[in-house]
């Protein structure tokens, strides 16, 4: 079960939970050969992310609770739940990881 206080988000329709802790962020940086802010900036610039990036982000978020998770497993999970569901869960989990529960996640005016 997902614990919102720890920044965890359930992946709809599965027993999987996403969480972007420091280790997950380091995994993304290592695999992407870039820092996490650059990866996230590319996701927000309006260019659709590649399947490779989506799979990488899902994999890293799932590894917090399942260290045995492989990239290929994350790809199979995307196939199972659907691309849109996976992308939405990734976005929710990143927000939950960086915004304390109960805080306003919207940018300051």
Say yes or no to pLDDT of 107 above 60. Answer: no
Q: 48 to each of 4, 13, 35, 40, how far by Cα in Å?
A: 28, 24, 19, 12
* Confidence category of residue 19, pLDDT binned at 50, 70, 90: very high
* Confidence category of residue 108, pLDDT binned at 50, 70, 90: very low
What is the mean pLDDT of the segment spanning 1-16?
A: 80
């Amino acid at each position: 079960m997902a614990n919102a206080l720890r920044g965890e988000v359930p992946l709809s329709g599965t027993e999987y939970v996403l969480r972007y802790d420091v280790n997950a962020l380091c995994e993304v940086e290592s695999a992407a050969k870039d820092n996490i802010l650059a990866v996230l900036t590319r996701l927000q610039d309006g260019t659709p992310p590649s399947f490779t990036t989506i799979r990488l982000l899902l994999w890293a978020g799932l590894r917090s609770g399942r260290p045995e998770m492989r990239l290929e497993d994350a790809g199979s999970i995307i196939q199972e739940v659907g691309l849109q569901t996976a992308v939405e869960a990734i976005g929710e989990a990143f927000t939950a990881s960086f915004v304390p529960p109960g805080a306003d996640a919207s940018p300051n005016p």
